[in-house]
C-alpha cells in the first residue's frame, strides 16, 4: 500500500484556488522588504530587481538545480539522499574555512548525529542511517555511534575535487545567466582577488537551498527531480531565447501552452539519476492531480502548477535566499565585473531533455 500514497503534498496544492499573482508579489515584498542598500563598497541586490524577472530567475535556478543533481550523481550514483548529506557536510566544512574545500587533509569537527541529519532532511532515522552507511562504504564519511563526519581525506579525492570544480562552473554559469543574460544589477565588490573556494561554497549552499526550499511541496526526491526536469524542458526554448525570455520574465507572465515543448519520459530516465519505476508512479500521481498533461506523446506541466500560490511563495523565498548567498559571496571579495574569467573549465551546458 505504500506505493499508492502520494509522497508529496500535491493533493493539497491541487485543491487550492489560483490567486492573482500580483497579490503574492505584493505579499512577498511587504513581508521582508529590503530597499537596495550599500554596505561599505558592496551594493546588494534586492527583491524588486528580481520580481520583475521572477519567472526567468526561477527558470535559471531550475537549470542550475538539474546540473547540480547530475553532477552529484556522478559522485554517489542514484543515492540522492546520501548525496545531499555529503553536500551538507562539504558545505559545513567550507563554512569553517573555504580553504578547506581544496585541502589535502580536512580537520573534521564534532560528529553530526544521524537523528539531527534526519531532521534536517525530513527523513526517517533508519532511511537516513542507510544513506549515510552507503557514503561510509564509498569511504567519503566516517560513521560511528556518535554520528557522521566527513573523512579527513575525502576532499582530496580526485572524484570529489572533480565534483567541486564542476559545481564551481555551474555556479559561475548561473551568475553569468543572472547578471549578463537576465541583466539583474550585480552586487559591487571591493576586490578582484578571490579564492575559487568561495564560489564552490556558494554553489553547495544553493544546491542545499533547492532541496530545503522544496521540502514544503515535495517529500520525495524522485518527485522533485521529475517535476523540475519537466518544467525546465518544457520552457527551455523560452528561458534562453533573447526575446521570449524577457516577454515571459515577470511574475504575472506565464509562457502559454503553445510555447511549452513536451519532455518524453524515456528521456527523463536516460539523463536523470532516477529509478524508472518510481519515477513513473510519481508522474502517474501528478497526472491524476492535473499537474501534468500528456501532449504529443510527452509530458507538460500544467499552468495550475506554475501559478499555484504555494509554489510561487516557495519560489519567492528561494529567490530571496539566493540573493543572500550571492551577496555574501560578493562581499567576501568575489569579483562579478568579468564573470567569464571566473570559469575553471568553462560554461556548463544545460542537461539535454529532448531527443532532437
CB 201 within 8 A of CB 95: yes
Which pTM value belongs to this model?
A: 0.86
The tens place of each residue's pLDDT in the chain, 356 residues long, gives 222 233 333 334 344 444 555 565 566 556 654 444 443 443 445 556 666 788 899 999 999 989 998 999 899 988 888 999 999 999 988 888 888 888 887 766 788 899 999 888 888 899 999 999 999 999 999 998 888 999 989 999 999 999 999 999 999 999 999 998 988 887 776 455 567 899 999 999 999 887 776 665 665 678 788 888 999 999 999 999 999 999 999 877 889 989 999 999 999 988 888 889 988 988 988 888 788 899 888 999 988 778 777 777 778 778 888 888 988 888 888 888 889 999 999 999 999 887 66
Q: What angle do CA 224, 246, 241 make, to 5 degrees?
A: 75
Q: Which helix (H) or strand (E) holds 299?
A: strand 298-301
Q: What is the 3-state secondary structure (H, E, C) of 107-142?
A: CCCCCECHHHHHHHCCCCHHHHHHHHHHHHHCCCEE
Q: List, in order, residues 6 or more apart from 243 with CB less than 8 Å away.
A: none
Query: Are the CB atoms for 251 and 22 separated by under 8 Å?
Result: yes
- The answer to whether the CB of 187 falls within 8 A of the CB of 334 is no
Rounded distance between C-alpha atoms, residue 180 and residue 191, angstroms: 20
Per domain, the residue ranges of the chain are 2-63+161-184+219-342
Taking a C-beta distance cutoff of 8 angstroms, is the pair 44, 36 a contact? yes
3-state SS class at 333: coil
Which residues sit opposite 293 in a β-bridge? 300
Q: Which residues contact 311 (CB under 8 A, 6 or more apart)?
A: 13, 217, 305
Question: In angstroms, rounded to a whole number, what is the distance separating the alpha carbons of residues 179 and 308?
Answer: 27
Residue 147 CB-density burial (10 A; 0-12 exposed, 13-18 middle, 19+ buried): middle
Distance set, CA 349 to CA 25, 345, 355 (Å): 31, 12, 16
The C-alpha torsion from 315 through 316 and 318 to 324, rounded to 10°, is: 160
Of 26, 349, 334, the residue nearest 196 (C-alpha): 334
Amino acid at each position: 500500500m505504500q506505493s499508492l500514497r502520494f509522497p508529496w503534498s500535491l493533493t493539497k496544492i491541487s485543491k487550492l484556488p489560483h490567486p492573482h499573482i500580483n497579490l503574492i508579489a505584493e505579499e512577498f515584498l511587504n513581508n521582508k522588504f529590503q530597499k537596495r542598500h550599500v554596505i561599505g563598497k558592496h551594493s546588494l541586490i534586492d527583491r524588486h530587481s528580481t520580481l520583475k524577472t521572477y519567472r526567468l530567475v526561477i527558470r535559471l535556478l531550475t537549470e542550475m538545480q538539474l546540473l547540480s543533481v547530475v553532477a552529484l550523481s556522478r559522485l554517489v550514483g542514484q543515492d540522492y539522499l546520501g548525496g545531499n548529506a555529503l553536500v551538507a557536510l562539504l558545505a559545513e566544512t567550507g563554512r569553517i574555512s573555504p580553504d578547506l574545500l581544496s585541502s589535502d587533509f580536512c580537520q573534521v569537527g564534532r560528529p553530526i548525529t544521524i537523528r539531527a541529519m534526519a531532521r534536517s532532511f525530513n527523513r526517517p532515522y533508519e532511511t537516513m542511517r542507510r544513506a549515510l552507511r552507503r557514503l561510509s562504504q564509498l569511504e567519503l564519511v566516517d560513521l560511528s555511534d556518535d554520528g557522521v563526519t566527513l573523512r579527513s581525506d575525502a576532499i582530496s579525492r580526485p572524484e570529489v575535487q572533480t565534483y567541486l570544480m564542476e559545481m564551481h562552473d555551474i555556479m559561475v554559469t548561473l551568475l553569468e545567466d543572472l547578471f549578463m543574460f537576465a541583466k539583474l544589477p550585480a552586487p559591487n565588490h571591493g576586490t578582484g582577488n578571490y579564492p575559487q573556494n568561495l564560489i564552490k561554497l556558494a554553489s553547495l549552499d544553493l544546491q542545499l537551498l533547492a532541496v530545503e526550499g522544496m521540502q514544503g511541496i515535495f517529500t520525495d526526491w524522485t518527485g522533485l527531480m521529475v517535476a523540475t526536469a519537466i518544467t525546465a524542458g518544457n520552457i527551455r526554448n523560452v528561458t534562453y531565447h533573447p526575446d521570449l525570455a524577457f516577454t515571459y520574465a515577470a511574475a504575472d507572465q506565464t509562457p502559454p501552452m503553445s510555447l511549452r515543448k513536451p519532455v518524453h519520459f524515456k528521456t527523463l530516465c536516460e539523463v536523470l539519476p532516477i529509478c524508472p519505476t518510481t519515477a513513473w508512479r510519481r508522474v502517474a500521481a501528478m497526472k491524476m492531480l492535473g499537474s501534468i498533461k500528456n501532449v504529443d506523446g510527452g509530458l507538460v506541466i500544467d499552468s495550475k502548477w506554475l501559478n499555484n500560490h504555494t509554489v510561487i511563495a516557495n519560489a519567492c523565498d528561494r529567490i530571496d535566499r539566493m540573493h543572500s548567498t550571492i551577496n555574501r559571496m560578493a562581499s567576501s571579495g568575489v569579483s562579478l565585473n568579468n564573470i567569464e574569467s571566473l570559469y575553471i573549465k568553462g560554461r556548463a551546458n544545460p542537461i539535454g531533455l529532448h531527443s532532437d
